A and B are shown apart, each in its own frame.
Chain A
Amino acid sequence: MRRQAWIWTAGLAALLLLSAWLSMALGSQQGRLVLEPDWIATVSFDGDQSLHARVLLFWRAPRVVASMVIGACLAVAGLVLQGLTRNPLADPYLLGISGGAGLAVVLVHALPALVVGAGWWLVPVAAFSGAQGAALLVLGIARSSGVSGGRLSVLGLILAGVVINAFCAAVMSFLLVRFDPFRLRITTLWLAGGIGFTRWDQLAFVTLLALAAWLFLRLQAHRLNAFALGTSGASAVGVDADRVLLRAALVSSLLTGLGVALGGLLGYVGLIVPHAVRGLVGSDFRRTLLLTAVAGALLVAVADSVARLVLAPEELPVGVLTALIGCPVLLMLLRVQLRGAGRGS
């Protein structure tokens, strides 16, 4: 199984590079799809002098990289949360994050001065802070009501997350109803998930943070595996379950917050990719963490490219594409899994 995991990881990574190269080479000019295989040459020679080179360097390239980072962050967060809560339906937004980030962004858009142009950076920062604030609140609520040794704290997490998400959604609805059509449209587009402008320094910072978070999780991988025994079972094999749970949940929220800051509330990635990866190589976190990151990056990179290109110059919402691509893949894997499981016992 271990060799299998490496093969899958290497294979998907190769696909990822290919997809990134293709994404850079495909663009639209005056409404028609155009392939330019020599984009690397353009960038090297023109630097940032020509408009076209700037499109490659400052619009397309950061977007391609951002899509990969978002996919990796959301997929890994989903993997960890599914493992911790032992709930295959968990997604990265479980801990109140969709509510917190969404509400923060709606509030920002409700400010009278900010409709366009002024302070575009407010949105990603608000999204990140909303996500983290909600996660901290959820963790605080669950902690104060948890009993060590039982599954109560995990249940508390899920319930607190549901409550916070629901509350934020209600406040959001209240605000959105009062929006004028322009603002409403812009806000809704963000909520559905979409990758806008990213600066290189912002992207570098986010990527470094995501890498640090991933590394932290990888170092905890064998302890996260112990959660397969339940929280008291994990305790029996020497894992400080409460502490590991809290930290892993926080780091997952951090990853989700980063993904949301860059790309809005992109759905399905954090739900589908972990399932697919576990179906391929099992549940051992030591094997799945890297593969999940690569698979998530690939899914969103491909989805974003298709979203950007298939109806060029119109853009489809990326969330639609992640669902359209991810769901059939997941269904196929489920069929194989269920067919196999039915045969036993």
Chain B
Amino acid sequence: MGPEWTTMVPLLALVACHCEQSSPAPPGAAAVQITDDRGNRVALPRPAARIASLSPSNTEILFALGCGERVVLRDRVSSHPPRARRLPATNPFQVSPDHVAGFTPDLVLLSHGDASRIEALRRLGLAVAIFDPRTLDEVYGDIRAIGTLCGAARQADGLTRQLRQRVQAVVQRVRGRPRPSVFVETDGTDPLKPWTAGGGSFVDQMLALAGGRNVAAHLERPFVQVNAEEILAARPDMILVMGVERQGGPRGIERLRSRMGWSSLEAVRQGRVIDTIHADLLSRPGPRLVDGLEALARALHPEAFR
């Protein structure tokens, strides 16, 4: 087939044309530099003073480090602490480099987004750091990195030390106690196929630290749908209902009771349902994870905390 090479040649050239790429490095000597979670080296000539924080976990970390006033732009989802909501917001999924550049940030923090738009930000000469931690240790590492970028390395060390101590305290308290099995429901919109958090997710990790056992730990993905039948068959000791509660809406336990077949579960009948912990505390990879851990441990082992 003769003319088919007309498509192969452009393809190869297109690949070659794309492959070599390096964005211009920021000028000047680097006073602070770190490596972000994607392995990119991020260097600034001086600690960041105007930060566009385009992911809620990074916003929380910044405020926790005392650098909140430096944030000039946030993403729409960043909601904590409450005074962050006063900041102008942008769409983190389709970042508008135009819009971001209008705030003249010297650092842009992200965790997810469209790769080509992030590249656009870099091409504008902006320093872009991507923090997307998967474990608690990585969260500590990100806190340190962000602290370094802001010239707040000491505060970062202090914060991580505090967090580690609190986590240790929880682990000590629940040591040796029997581990209840827990079904985590992250989204119960379809009661026949609820979403749960599999092995490796933050909830899963927090559960393990808090002295519990995730019934879905064998499922390798952080977000996974399961059949309600399997949950009923697994007979969890407790049920953790995440998901944001509507004001005045039914509480998690009431919703479970109203589902067909679920009231046969021991956990539901005996009211062993945890529905008071806000989802962000157990899934947002920031310092509040430890708050979530403490709340979870208290709910799993109330006797240990009297």
Asked whether A and B interact, the reply is yes
Segment with Cβ contacts to B, from A83-91, A148-156, A174-182, A329-337 = A174-182
Contact A115 B14 (CB under 8 A): no
Contact B114 A28 (CB under 8 A): no
Fill in one digit per residue for B1-26: 1 if any A CB lies within 8 Å of its CB, else 0. 10110111011011101110100000
Fill in one digit per residue for B93-114: 1 if any A CB lies within 8 Å of its CB, else 0. 1101111011110000011111
Q: Closest CB of chain A to B63's CB: distance in Å?
A: 22
Fill in one digit per residue for A310-322: 1 if any B CB lies within 8 Å of its CB, else 0. 0011110000000
Complex Cα distance A251/B97, Å?
Answer: 34
- In the bound complex, residues from chain B placing their C-beta under 8 Å from that of A247 are 3
Contact B124 A30 (CB under 8 A): no
Q: Which residue of the partner chain, among B8, B18, B90, B98, contacts A27 with CB atoms under 8 Å?
A: B98
Contact A116 B114 (CB under 8 A): yes
- In the bound complex, residues from chain A placing their C-beta under 8 Å from that of B15 are 125
Q: Which residue of the partner chain, among A117, A205, A313, contacts B14 with CB atoms under 8 Å?
A: A205
Q: Which residue of the partner chain, among B90, B97, B113, B119, contacts A55 with CB atoms under 8 Å?
A: B97
Taking beta carbons and an 8 Å cutoff, which residues of B are in contact with A? 1, 3-4, 6-8, 10-11, 13-15, 17-19, 21, 38-40, 88, 90-91, 93-94, 96-99, 101-104, 110-120, 123-126, 128, 130, 132, 221-223
Q: Closest CB of chain B to A50's CB: distance in Å?
A: 10
Q: Is the CB of A345 closer than 8 A to any CB of chain B?
A: no
Fill in one digit per residue for A130-166: 1 if any B CB lies within 8 Å of its CB, else 0. 0010011000100000000000000000000000000
Classify chain A's interface size: 35 or more
Contact B223 A180 (CB under 8 A): yes
Taking beta carbons and an 8 Å cutoff, which residues of A are in contact with B? 27-31, 51-52, 54-55, 58-60, 114-125, 128-129, 132, 135-136, 140, 178, 180-183, 185-186, 189-190, 194, 196-197, 199, 201-202, 205-206, 209, 246-247, 250-251, 253-254, 257-258, 261, 308, 312-315
Complex Cα distance A212/B188, Å?
Answer: 54
Complex Cα distance A325/B112, Å?
Answer: 32
Q: Whose C-beta in chain A lies nearest to the C-beta of B24?
A: A48
- In the bound complex, residues from chain A placing their C-beta under 8 Å from that of B118 are 116-117, 120
Contact A117 B115 (CB under 8 A): yes
Q: Closest CB of chain B to A133's CB: distance in Å?
A: 9
Q: Closest CB of chain A to B77's CB: distance in Å?
A: 11
Interface contacts (Cβ under 8 Å), in number, total 157
Q: Closest CB of chain A to B189's CB: distance in Å?
A: 13
Q: Which residue of the partner chain, among A54, A117, A132, contacts B38 with CB atoms under 8 Å?
A: A117
- In the bound complex, residues from chain B placing their C-beta under 8 Å from that of A31 are 88, 99, 102
Q: Which residue of B17, B38, B126, B222 has the most chain A CB atoms within 10 A of its CB atom?
A: B17
Contact B13 A129 (CB under 8 A): no
Told that A132-B8, A185-B93 touch, could you supply 4 new A-B pairs with CB distance under 8 A? A55-B124, A116-B132, A205-B17, A313-B99
Contact A124 B4 (CB under 8 A): no
- In the bound complex, residues from chain B placing their C-beta under 8 Å from that of A136 are 4, 7
Q: Which residue of the partner chain, among B6, B102, B116, B117, contacts A254 with CB atoms under 8 Å?
A: B6
Contact B21 A117 (CB under 8 A): no
Complex Cα distance A345/B88, Å?
Answer: 64
Complex Cα distance A253/B6, Å?
Answer: 11
Contact A51 B40 (CB under 8 A): no
Q: Which residue of the partner chain, among A114, A116, A128, contacts B130 with CB atoms under 8 Å?
A: A116
Q: Whose C-beta in chain B lies nearest to the C-beta of A179?
A: B223
Q: With A29-B102, A116-B115, A180-B222 in contact, is A59–B7 under 8 Å at CB?
A: no
Complex Cα distance A314/B99, Å?
Answer: 9
Q: Closest CB of chain B to A167's CB: distance in Å?
A: 20
Q: Which residue of the partner chain, among A125, A253, A254, A258, contacts B18 with CB atoms under 8 Å?
A: A125
Contact A254 B10 (CB under 8 A): yes
Contact A186 B116 (CB under 8 A): no
Contact A116 B110 (CB under 8 A): yes
Q: Closest CB of chain B to A12's CB: distance in Å?
A: 27
- In the bound complex, residues from chain A placing their C-beta under 8 Å from that of B8 are 132
Contact B130 A117 (CB under 8 A): yes
Could you name 8 residue pairs across A and B whose Cβ atoms are closer than 8 Å?
A59-B124, A114-B115, A186-B93, A197-B119, A202-B14, A254-B6, A308-B98, A314-B96
Q: Whose C-beta in chain A lies nearest to the C-beta of B105?
A: A51
Complex Cα distance A251/B8, Å?
Answer: 12
Q: Which residue of the partner chain, among A28, A189, A197, contacts B120 with CB atoms under 8 Å?
A: A197
Q: Which residue of the partner chain, among B99, B116, B126, contacts A120 with CB atoms under 8 Å?
A: B116
Q: Closest CB of chain B to A325's CB: distance in Å?
A: 20
The 6 closest A-B pairs by CB, nearest first: A121-B18, A196-B116, A313-B99, A120-B115, A197-B120, A197-B116
- In the bound complex, residues from chain B placing their C-beta under 8 Å from that of A258 are 10
Q: Closest CB of chain A to B50's CB: distance in Å?
A: 12
Contact B113 A116 (CB under 8 A): yes
Q: Whose C-beta in chain B lies nearest to the C-beta of A209?
A: B10
Q: Whose C-beta in chain A lies nearest to the C-beta of B97?
A: A59
Q: Which residue of the partner chain, among B10, B91, B130, contacts A313 with CB atoms under 8 Å?
A: B91
- In the bound complex, residues from chain A placing their C-beta under 8 Å from that of B102 are 27-31
- In the bound complex, residues from chain A placing their C-beta under 8 Å from that of B19 are 121
Contact A58 B123 (CB under 8 A): yes
- In the bound complex, residues from chain A placing their C-beta under 8 Å from that of B38 are 116-118
Complex Cα distance A92/B270, Å?
Answer: 61
Q: Whose C-beta in chain B lies nearest to the C-beta of A200?
A: B123
- In the bound complex, residues from chain B placing their C-beta under 8 Å from that of A128 are 10-11, 14
- In the bound complex, residues from chain B placing their C-beta under 8 Å from that of A114 are 115
- In the bound complex, residues from chain A placing their C-beta under 8 Å from that of B222 are 180
Q: With A30-B102, A205-B14, A315-B94 in contact, is A197–B117 under 8 Å at CB?
A: yes
